[in-house]
Amino acid sequence: MNLAVSLVHTILVHMKLSIARPMFKFIIWISPLFYSTLAIFIYGKDSPETLFHYVVLGSGFMALWSSIVFSSASDVNRERFYGTLEIIFISPVPFAVTLIGKIIANTLWGLISMILSFVYLKFVFQLELVFYHPWVFLAALLFVLLSLAVFSFFLALAFTLSRQAEALMNFIEYPIYLICGFLFPISYLPAWVQGISYVLPPTWAIQLLRDVTTETLSSQTVLFSFTALVSLTVLYILIGVYFYRLMDKKARFHGKLGVY
Amino acid sequence: MEAVQRFIRHGFLSYKALFGWLDPKVYIFVMVLSPISQLIFFSMLVNYVYKGENLLGYVAANALLLCVLNAVFGIMSVITSDRWMGTLPLVMATPYNKASLFLSRSIAHVLNGLVTAAIGLGFGIILFHLSISFKEGLVLLIIWLCSIFSAAGLGLILGTFCLWSPSMHLWSNLLASLLLLLSGANYPYSRMPEWLQLLGQFTPLTRGVQLTKDILNDGNYSNVAVLLGEEILLGIAFFAISFLLLKFAEYQSRSKGTMEFD
Amino acid sequence: MKQNVIEVKNVTRAYTTEVGIFKKEKKKVEALNGVSFSVKKGEIFGLLGPNGAGKTTMIKILSTMLIPHSGNVSILGLDPAADHRLLRPKINFILGGERNLYWRLSAYDNLSYFADLYKIPKSIKKSRIEDLLKLVGLHDVAHQKVETFSKGMKQRLQIARGLVNNPEILFLDEPSIGLDPVSARQLRETLRKLNNQGTTILLTTHYMYEADELCDRIAFINKGEIIDIDSPSNLKKKVDHLSIIDCSVLGASSSQIDSIKNLKSIHHIQVDRHDFAWTLRIQTTEPQLVVPFIYDSMKNSVITNLTISNPTLEDVYVRTIGENAS
- The rounded mean pLDDT for chain A is 82
Highest-scoring range by mean pLDDT, B1-15, B156-170, B201-215, C236-250:
B201-215
Edge-to-edge strands, sheet with C302-309:
C266-274, C277-284, C243-250, C302-309
Instruction: In whole angstroms, give the CA distance from residue C201 to residue B140.
Output: 57
Average pLDDT over residues B50-71: 93
pLDDT, tens only, B170-191: 888 899 999 999 999 999 999 9
Q: Best residue in B81, B87, B253 to probe C by mutation, most C CBs within 10 Å?
A: B87
pLDDT at position C326 is: 42
Chain C and chain A touch, per 3+ beta carbon pairs within 8 A: no
C254 versus A97: the higher-pLDDT residue is C254
Radius of gyration of chain A (CA): 19
Instruction: In whole angstroms, give the CA distance from residue C44 to residue C202.
Output: 6
Average pLDDT over residues A82-91: 57
Average pLDDT over residues A165-176: 75
Query: Least CB-CB distance to B93: which of C63, C112, C121?
Result: C63
Percent of chain C with pLDDT over 70: 94
Query: Least CB-CB distance to C109: which of B13, B89, B93?
Result: B13
Query: Least CB-CB distance to B44: which of A25, A44, A178?
Result: A178
Which residues of chain B lie closer than 8 angstroms to A164, CB-CB?
A: 25
Question: Residue A245 pLDDT > 90, yes or no?
Answer: no
Question: Which of A126-130, B176-180, C216-220, C273-277 comes out lowest in average pLDDT?
Answer: A126-130
Do residue A188 and residue B44 have CB atoms under 8 angstroms apart?
A: yes
Q: CA of C67: how far to CAs of A252, B255, B257, C73, C223, in Å?
A: 55, 5, 8, 10, 19
Which residues of chain A lie closer than 8 angstroms to B29, CB-CB?
A: 167-168, 170-171
Residue A251 pLDDT class (50, 70, 90 cuts): low
pLDDT, tens only, C220-234: 998 888 988 999 888
Residue A90 pLDDT class (50, 70, 90 cuts): low
Do residue C105 and residue B16 have CB atoms under 8 angstroms apart?
A: yes
pLDDT at position B15 is: 84
Question: Residue B42 pLDDT > 50, yes or no?
Answer: yes
pLDDT at position A33 is: 94
Percent of chain C with pLDDT over 90: 38
- Where do the structural domains in chain C lie, given as residue ranges? 4-237, 243-309
Query: Least CB-CB distance to C66: which of B5, B18, B257?
Result: B257
pLDDT at position A157 is: 73
Given a contact cutoff of 8 angstroms between Cβ atoms, the answer to whether C217 and C42 are in contact is no
Average pLDDT over residues C166-191: 88
Do residue A42 and residue B49 have CB atoms under 8 angstroms apart?
A: yes
Q: What number does CATH give the domain C4-237?
A: 3.40.50.300
Residues 6 or more apart in contact with residue C254 via CB below 8 angstroms: none
Residue B36 resides in a domain: yes
Residue A78 pLDDT class (50, 70, 90 cuts): low
pLDDT at position B130 is: 92
Amino acid at residue number A259 = V
Among candidates C46, C128, C68, C60, which has minimal Cα distance to C91? Answer: C60
Residue B261 resides in a domain: no
Q: Domain count of chain B?
A: 1
- Where do the structural domains in chain A lie, given as residue ranges? 2-254
Which residues of chain B lie closer than 8 angstroms to C114, CB-CB?
A: 90, 94
Do residue B29 and residue A37 have CB atoms under 8 angstroms apart?
A: no
Residues 6 or more apart in contact with residue A78 via CB below 8 angstroms: none
**Length reported for chain B:** 262
Query: Least CB-CB distance to B48: which of A166, A168, A188?
Result: A188
Q: 3-state DSSP helix/strand/coil percent for chain A, to nearest 5?
A: 80, 0, 20
pLDDT at position C296 is: 87
Q: Do domains C4-237 and C243-309 have the same CATH topology?
A: no
B196 versus C242: the higher-pLDDT residue is B196
Q: Provide ipTM, 2 decimals.
A: 0.87
pLDDT, tens only, B61-114: 999 999 998 889 889 888 888 888 888 888 888 888 888 899 999 998 999 999
Instruction: In whole angstroms, give the CA distance from residue C201 to residue C169.
Output: 6
pLDDT at position A260 is: 40
CA dihedral B123, B124, B127, B133 (to 10 degrees): -90
Average pLDDT over residues B191-203: 94
Which residues of chain B lie closer than 8 angstroms to A30, CB-CB?
A: 174, 177
> Which of A173-212 are b and which e, b meaning 16 or more Cβ less than 10 Å from the residue's Cβ?
bbbbbbbbbbbbebeebeeeeeeebeebbbbbbbbbbbbb
Beta pairing partners, A29:
none
**Whether B25 contacts chain A with CB within 8 A:** yes
pTM for the full predicted model: 0.82
Instruction: In whole angstroms, give the CA distance from residue C219 to residue C11.
Output: 15
Instruction: In whole angstroms, give the CA distance from residue C172 to residue C156.
Output: 13
pLDDT at position C128 is: 95
Instruction: In whole angstroms, give the CA distance from residue B116 to residue B144.
Output: 11
Given a contact cutoff of 8 angstroms between Cβ atoms, the answer to whether A32 and A60 are in contact is yes
Q: Best residue in B49, B53, B169 to probe A by mutation, most A CBs within 10 Å?
A: B49
Beta pairing partners, C255:
none
pLDDT, tens only, C59-113: 989 988 889 999 999 999 999 988 888 999 999 999 877 778 888 899 999 999 9
**Whether B22 contacts chain A with CB within 8 A:** no
Question: Residue C214 pLDDT > 50, yes or no?
Answer: yes
Q: How far is C116 from chain B (nearest CA, A)?
A: 6
Q: What number does CATH give the domain C243-309?
A: 3.30.70.260
Question: Residue C323 pLDDT > 80, yes or no?
Answer: no
> Which of C55-76 are b and which e, b meaning 16 or more Cβ less than 10 Å from the residue's Cβ?
bbbbbbbbbbbbbbeebebbbb
Average pLDDT over residues A99-126: 88
Question: Residue C325 pLDDT > 60, yes or no?
Answer: no
Domain that holds residue B244: 2-256
Residue B262 resides in a domain: no
Given a contact cutoff of 8 angstroms between Cβ atoms, the answer to whether C7 and C73 are in contact is yes
Which residues of chain B lie closer than 8 angstroms to A167, CB-CB?
A: 25-26, 29-30
Question: Residue A237 pLDDT > 70, yes or no?
Answer: yes
Q: How many CB pairs under 8 A join B and C?
A: 82
Q: Best residue in A19, A24, A184, A189 to probe B by mutation, most B CBs within 10 Å?
A: A184
- The rounded mean pLDDT for chain C is 87
Helical axes B55-65 vs B34-49, angle rounded to 10°: 150
Residues 6 or more apart in contact with residue B190 via CB below 8 angstroms: B197
Which residues of chain B lie closer than 8 angstroms to C81, CB-CB?
A: 254
Which residues of chain B lie closer than 8 angstroms to A170, CB-CB?
A: 29-30, 34
Nearest residue of chain A to residue B38 (CA atoms): A174
